[in-house]
Amino acid sequence: MKTIALLTDFGLNDHYAGTMKGVILSIQANVQVVDLCHHIKPQDIVHGALVLKSAYRFFPKKTIFVAVVDPGVGSARGKIILKTKDYVFVAPDNGILSLVAEIEKQTRFYEITNDRYFLKPASDTFHGRDIFAPVAAYLTKGLSPLTFGNKIQNIVRLKWPNPLIDRKHKRISGEVVHIDRFGNLVTNISEKDLKRFRGRFSIHIKNKSISQLSHSYAEAKKGQLLGIIGSMGFLEIAANGRSAGRRLKVLKGERVKINEA
């Protein structure tokens, strides 16, 4: 049985996410519809791209992801299918697939223009229901992406907030891009970025310093700040058993600096 995984900013208080599941099952009864995440921050494409990037490679091969964070719904923004070696992604063309497209080596892009497979009448307010869900469901029936539109050369790329790397002075200036439920501060500084320091660096956020990376949250004393490579592949600043976000009173966008030690 194939899997369709849903990633949206629809939340769970309204009929939006549930209706998409209904549409998919109406077209293809023989599919596992999995809620990957419906709590992307409203219209926050960076957050959506980050969660999708962190999760997709753990899903079964041939999974179809429907990613709907879509502030431009009903505008001229495109609608796309991204096919990689193992997965298919259906989404508005607004950057939400760009972190996946960066990682994957074999990528093919298609526009979605053939309205034959849309719900009728297709609204201009809810393409998740009327376009993206049905396209994903028909894709599980073995239709080629070319059924829905032509191949295109590229897709919209996200303006991802890359950290500033000062090679001369061996410094990195990054930022907090996400704060998770536990108050862990996910930065945009990757494991690879830190490799250049060969383990000799200090992490600075607000007026606090952390002198080394931990391997687990529990390595630090209760409540103590620590740096760790988290499950998204980025440096995280955490506090063992507490919320680092609340302890440091930090919001998304807070600066994080790395200096050679």
Helix (H, G, I), strand (E, B) or coil at 160: coil
161 binds its own copies (CB under 8 A): no
151-152 and 108-111 beta bridge pairing: antiparallel
Residue 11 is a binding residue for its own copies (CB under 8 A):
yes
Q: What is the nearest approach in angstroms of its own copies to the Cβ of residue 111?
A: 18
Q: Is the dihedral of CA 12, 14, 17, 21 positive or negative?
A: positive
CB of 17 to its own copies, least distance (A): 8
- Residues 109, 118, 148, 217: which binds its own copies (CB under 8 A)? 217
Quote the least distance from Cβ 11 to its own copies, whole Å.
Answer: 4
Q: Which stretch binds its own copies (CB under 8 A): 102-110, 142-150, 222-230, 248-256?
A: 222-230
Pick out residues in 22-41 that bind its own copies (CB under 8 A). Answer: 22-23, 25-26, 29-30, 32-39
Instruction: Write down the least CB distance from residue 193 to its own copies, Å.
Output: 18
What are residue 213's DSSP bridge partners? Answer: 227
List the beta strands (DSSP E) in the chain.
2-8, 31-37, 64-68, 79-83, 88-92, 108-111, 151-152, 164-166, 171-179, 185-190, 201-205, 208-210, 213-214, 225-229, 234-239, 255-260
Using rule CB under 8 A, residue 153 touches its own copies: no
223 binds its own copies (CB under 8 A): no
CA distance 79 to 20: 17
User: Do 178 and 223 form a contact (C-beta atoms < 8 A)?
Assistant: no
Q: Exactly one of 117, 138, 160, 182 binds its own copies (CB under 8 A); which one?
A: 182
Question: Angle at Cα 246 formed by Cα 243 and Cα 248, nearest 5°?
Answer: 105
Which of 120, 181, 195, 198 binds its own copies (CB under 8 A)? It is 181
Q: Is 152 in the site for its own copies (CB under 8 A)?
A: no
